[in-house]
Structures are given as structure tokens and as C-alpha cells.
Structure 1
Amino acid sequence: MLGKKIKVLVVDDTIVYRKAVSDILGEMPGIEVVGVAHNGKIAVAKIQSLKPDLLTLDIEMPEMNGLEVLQYLQQHAPQVSAIMVSTLTSEGGDMTMRALELGAYDFILKPTAKNILESRQQLRSLLTPLIKAFQTGRTTIGSLQAGPRASGGRPSTSGVTGGRSKAAGPATLPLGKFATTSTSPVRRKGKSEIVTIGISTGGPNALARMMPMLPSDLGVPILIVQHMPPVFTKSLANSLNTKCALSVKEAQDGEPLEANVAYIAPGGKQMKLVASTDGTSRLIKITNDPPENSCKPSADYLFRSVADYYVGRATAVIMTGMGSDGTRGLQILKQKGAFIIGQDEQSCVVYGMPKAPADLGLTDVVTPLDNIAGEIVKSVK
């Protein structure tokens, strides 16, 4: 889609947001705002004539809400994608999870600033990266439910053959700010005793597809960083818990790790591991430490602590998402003998977070979304 105009229909119940979103999109190269609508019923009526590529779609609207519009798109216009505009409430979180299940590309939060200027700045910072990601690699309604895209979508991962990274294996790496001082990689000590996952844009749908493939007797805990705001991570955990054989929950400060439980880092907090007073078991520590890579929670923050406490006994998974959060942590994990799995380019909504580790040769396996669960199982059993 690079170099081609993206047609956007702005759908929002509030005139202030409709205008703000329209103005922001109108300033972006390659974006054409083809129309606006103040409820879903009007939006559906305009889709056929305006033929948008993308909707910015308010969830809570009169007459026909955002979820009902998504259901219409699935049935009548599957080529059209949607970025949801949600509110930071429990109800908003639950509805957003349902929207993502229905194939929404991603979501942003309605600004909470008290003046128009700050609201516009918040909107611009949230919306711009998603629009750019959409321009560079489109994913349409329902595509994840339908399985990995055909090879005509995006080119395959560079340097990957048969699911294995050609560059995989120990290497001397530029470890950056949070480097371990060791220059000699630790050897893997056998099967992994923990799994840790970093994921962002496209993550809820990817997790909803991958996690149910894991067996109830996996035998190890799973720690997950999904880039999300507060409230939404609890909704995500609840949604996944209904789909998975494993237990899935939002992590709580001080709780001990248990096998066959997946812990999702709370939005707006950082999550790491610490030693318990007995010196043998590990506890989850939830902190208010600063963002890393503009992320809170951050995969790097979590990965470093897993590397410290599970030397040679960890499996790390890096999945779809914008940016490079997780790369530095994976460098440290690699030096400490972790087994690293990367999602391949074709099955990612955005091939950002898995790309840098693959390019650096950190990944032991680069594989499609549908094969990740199997690789996890092989690494722990």
C-alpha cells in the first residue's frame, strides 16, 4: 500500500472527535478522508458508495454501535479494516476485546485531556503510528481468523528457510544499555522451565489464536507483556481464559509463579520476577518503574528478569508488534542460554518487534503464528 492513497471513513458519535480525527488524518500523506458519520447506521450506508479502506470507529454509538458495524463488515465488506476508538472503562475494555475478536485492526483510547489542544495532541500520537502501520502492511477484517495470509501479502522473512533462521545461534552482539557483561554465551541446560512472550499491535487476536493451542498440562508458567493500557489487560486476560485450556489471568504483585498459568502484565505497570524469601521459588513483582521504549509494560523489562532467574532454562517468544521492544531483553536472554521463537513476517499484523531479533540472529526458530504453540511445547517437554 506504500504510495497508494488510503481512504478513511471517520465514524464517531461526538462532533469534536470526528473533526479532530478528520483534521489529523487530513494532514497525513497518502490519507484521504472520504467522509464522516455520527453513528454506525449512517456509516454502513456510506461504505458502499465511498469504498473506504479503513474506518476509525467509535465503539459506543446510538442506533448501531461499533460492534454491529464490525459484524456488517465481516459479512458484506471484509476488505475494509477498522481502528476502534474506545473509552478507558471496564465496559470499554470488554467491548474492545470483542471488537478485536471480530477482526478490528487495533484500537486507540479517546483522549482524557481537558482542553482541545491537548486532546488533539493525544489523538495524533496514538493514531499516527497505527495509520502508518496500516499503510505499510494491511490486515483486513477477519484475516487472522482465516489463518495466515497467502504468500502474496508481504514478502517472507529475510534469511529464513524451512522455519529456521539462517543466522540463528550464539553470536557476539551489541547488547546496548542493559547488556550483560558476559561475552561467552551460556549453554542451554535442557528443557525450559518458563515461557515469556512479548507482543503488541495485532496481539490480542494473535494470542487468541495461539494460546488455545497450548495444552492444559504444559508444565510451566507463562509471562506475557502485551502493550495495552490499564483495564484492557484484565479484559484481555478474561477473554483468553474462556478460550484456553491453561488458566490466564492479569498478574498481581507478590503472587508466586504456578505451572499451567499464563500471567499478563497489567497495563500501565511494569512486571518482573524476584526471588522469594525461601530463595528457591520466584514471585511476580509489579512496579511503577518508568516506561522503556515508550512502553509500560515493556517486554525488555520483563525479559531481563527472566534471564536473571532462569539461566539456560527459558523460552522467549517475540510476536507481532510495532517498534523494537524486546530486542535488548532477548539479547540478554540469548547470552544466558534461552531458546527464542520469533513470529514470521507473513503472519504478523506488523513485522516490527520480531524483525530486529531475527535480523540479529537471536531467534532459534522463525515460524508462522499457527506453529508457535507447537514450538513452545517442544521447548518445555
Structure 2
Amino acid sequence: MNVLVVDDSSLFRRVITEALKTFPEVETISQAPNGRQALLKLQALQPDLMTLDMEMPEIDGLAVLEALKKLPNPPIVIVLSTLTHKGGHLAIKAMQLGAFDFITKPSATNAEQSLNLLREELAPRLKALRVRVNVRQILRAQPQRPPSSPPSPSATAAKPPTASAGLPPIGPTTKSTDLAAPPHSALQPEGVPASARQVRLPPPEMVLIGVSTGGPNALDCLIPALPAALEVPVLIVQHMPPIFTKSLAEHLGERSALKVYEAEHDSVAEPGSVYIAPGGRHMKLARSEQGQKIIQITDAAPENHCRPSVDYLFRSAANHFPGRAIALILTGMGSDGTLGLRLLKRHGCFVIAQDEASCVVYGMPKVAIEAGVVDSVLPLDAIADRVVARVSGRDR
């Protein structure tokens, strides 16, 4: 893996380089002090991965991402951003422009601490990128094919029209899979009573979403597609640092018919509203004496190395509102969410997983599917319609 480190700080360039040197898959490391130099070096260096600072002189990180979109085989980009409100907005925008993921710049007071923090952040991302980098290297090694000659008029006339000729395709363009199975199928999780599998449950009273790497873009597709008339609250755990989740909530709120908030302690989860767990803190559900859904924010220990944790939210919903939710497990690294889904499934919760083709990282959905706790596997752009159908009772 060839890496280009782009940062206007010589200190950060050095620390990032030293962190990258500890990974055996990293073969070469080059540096650029700003976006302009990075773009000039692309042709000669052909990097597989670029670590990109957002705030730089001459050409900033967003302008670099805009330029990369025009290239046929651009490097994969991991953005480094400051842990500030502005940094959060820039990171969300970077995801929209095609960045793979983001890392917050360490605020440690010495280089060794910064090095260790960066290494911890880079390790799972480099692991998740191995297959993608291998594919990119194969594509880069293939000779460019000359453009094909246009077909002759007679050849064109002899062929029936197809979707590629500019006509709409016949049938759906995306594939969905319902993992419906007989009661004793291996797809059914252990411990799910037969009654929960066979009884028609009432429509769900909430939507629970767990998502990690690739999440900002996935949510940017999903949440605006939900109607204002959605009669249940939506609760989201997105693995993100503090401050950034507020930027994400503001961005989604501007694009959505639903009201989107960074969740606050002891607030009531209202229908037609979306609540995102604040970065660096857990979110769970409790039940009031009147049966209201109360959001609680805690600083309990991380779960699955994550805070907020998807399992933490899912487990609370299973305990306090059994059988009342529809759960979505979307793109992301690791296995966070699967244990919580097991509990939800014991009470008949319907679970949707994002399919591999539309995931940035097919980790969390894959683990959940393999654990047998998923009812339906859908491409990202088909999930909102299925959620609405389940909530309305049309899809039972």
C-alpha cells in the first residue's frame, strides 16, 4: 500500500508518517505540505491511500476531494480533522465528497501520545481497506483500453432497445433478500420462541439504527427519504467523536422532513423526530410511568471498544420495549450491534441489514447476518420504503 500524507503541519506529517510505518502493509510513504502539492504529486506517486488535512493554505482538503472526483482511479482518502464544530462540518462535507472515513487529530501534548492515538485509529481502517486497495492496484495495473468505435447504423437498427441505450431498465435496479425461513431454519437466532416467530406483532413504535464507517453518507440517503408523517421516533447510534454528531444532526436536519437532534438526557423520544447519540457518550431508552420513551445519556464504559455503542441502545430497547422496534444495522467496521439484535429478536423485532454492495465497509451487517439475527437484506436506497411499510402495518 502506497500512502501520501497531506498536511500543512510538519509535526503532524512526521507523526502520521511514523504511525503508518508500524503497519506491514504500508510499503511507501510520501508527503505533501498542502493540497496543491498533493495534486501535483498524484501522477508520479500513484498512492493507494491519502491522509488528508482539511484546513490548509493554497488548496484545502475539500478542494482536493473535488479534484479527486474527476480522476478515473483516485486514491482512497482518510480525512484528518480537528475536534471542533468547524472540523465536524468539514468532516461531514468530506464524506459527501467521497472520503472513506475521518480521524480526529490527536490533542495529546507530546509526540509519543499522538503517535499511539493515531496508530489506534488507523489500525481498523487499514484492515478494512485491504481488499479495496488490492482491487485498486489490480485496476491500475490493467492497460487502458482504447474507446470502442461507435456501432454502424445497421448494427444499431438490428438490436432491440436496452436500458443502456437510454431507456429505463425493466424491473428493479437493486436486489433485496428476505431471509424468511421455516421455524427451524439456521437463520433463526437461538432462543427465539416460536410464538415470536409466528405471531403477527403490532406495527413497531420506534426505529433503531446502528451505523459506523460510511454512516454519514448512508444516513444522508436514508433519513431524508423518510416522510414527515412517520409516526414513530428514530434513534441512531453513529460511531463518532464528540462535537461531530451535532454537525451531523444539523446537516441531516437541513435535508430532512423529520426533525433531527443530537440527543439530550431525559428528553422524550417523540414521533416524527430523529435522535443521534452524542459522540463519546452512550444513549439508551428507559420507560416512564406513563409509558413514554425516555432517552438517557450516560458515560458508562465503552462496549465493543465503542462509545456510543449500538449494543447499548439495542439492549435497552429490548429490555424496556420488547417487540416494539424495527432495527437497522448499516455499514460499519466490527460487530457492534449483533448482541443487541439477538435480544431484540427474542421478542420478535424485525431487523434489516444493509447489503454488501451498498456498504462502505461490510462489517457490522455481515456479522449480524452470519449470526442469524437479520430478517431482510436490502440495498441502502430501498431501506426507507421498507421501514415506512413496516411502521404503517402494510408490510407484516
TM-score interval w.r.t. the shorter chain? 0.7 to 0.9
Pick from 53, 60, 63 the counterpart of residue 55 of structure 2. Answer: 60
Tell me if 1:133 matches 2:144: no
Tell me if 1:20 matches 2:31: no
The separation in 2 between residues aligned to 1:192 and 1:228, in whole angstroms, is 27
Pick from 290, 309, 315 the counterpart of residue 301 of structure 2. Answer: 290
Unaligned runs of 5+ in 2: 137-174
* Percent of residue pairs identical: 48
The separation in 1 between residues aligned to 2:115 and 2:5, in whole angstroms, is 15
1:366 counterpart residue number: 377
Shift of residue 184, structure 1, vs aligned partner: 6.0
Residues 136-215 of structure 1: matches in 2 within 5 Å?
Answer: 136-137=131-132, 162-165=176-179, 173=189, 186=196, 187=199, 189-215=201-227
The separation in 2 between residues aligned to 1:64 and 1:298, in whole angstroms, is 36
How many correspondences in the alignment?
349
Pick from 210, 234, 251 the counterpart of residue 246 of structure 2. Answer: 234
Q: Is the 8 A contact 1:54 1:82 kept in 2?
A: yes
Q: Is the 8 A contact 1:225 1:264 kept in 2?
A: yes
Bigger mean CA offset, 163-172 vs 296-305: 163-172
The alpha-carbon distance between structure 1 residues 268 and 185, as it changes in their structure 2 partners (threshold 3 A), is farther
Structure with bigger helix share is 2
Tell me if 1:264 matches 2:296: no
Bigger mean CA offset, 16-25 vs 102-111: 16-25
The alpha-carbon distance between structure 1 residues 376 and 162, as it changes in their structure 2 partners (threshold 3 A), is closer
Tell me if 1:97 matches 2:92: yes
The separation in 1 between residues aligned to 2:201 and 2:236, in whole angstroms, is 23
The alpha-carbon distance between structure 1 residues 162 and 246, as it changes in their structure 2 partners (threshold 3 A), is closer
The separation in 2 between residues aligned to 1:351 and 1:172, in whole angstroms, is 21
Tell me if 1:329 matches 2:340: yes
The separation in 1 between residues aligned to 2:73 and 2:178, in whole angstroms, is 33
Q: Give the match's secondary structure for 1:297.
A: coil
Q: Give the match's secondary structure for 2:27.
A: strand
2:329 counterpart residue number: 318
Unaligned runs of 5+ in 1: 1-5, 141-160, 176-181
1:19 corresponds to which letter in structure 2?
R
- Output one character per residue of 1:228-267: Cα deviation in whole Å (capped at 9) or x when no partner: 0000000011111111111111011111111111100001
Shift of residue 29, structure 1, vs aligned partner: 2.4
Q: Is the 8 A contact 1:169 1:364 kept in 2?
A: no
Q: Is the 8 A contact 1:25 1:33 kept in 2?
A: no
The separation in 2 between residues aligned to 1:184 and 1:367, in whole angstroms, is 25
The alpha-carbon distance between structure 1 residues 193 and 85, as it changes in their structure 2 partners (threshold 3 A), is same
Q: Give the match's secondary structure for 2:39.
A: helix
The separation in 2 between residues aligned to 1:8 and 1:50, in whole angstroms, is 9
Q: Give the match's secondary structure for 1:354.
A: helix
Q: Give the match's secondary structure for 2:291.
A: coil
2:285 corresponds to which letter in structure 1?
L
The normalised TM-score by structure 2 is: 0.83
Q: Is the 8 A contact 2:189 2:373 kept in 1?
A: no
The alpha-carbon distance between structure 1 residues 304 and 32, as it changes in their structure 2 partners (threshold 3 A), is same
2:158 counterpart residue number: none
1:149 counterpart residue number: none
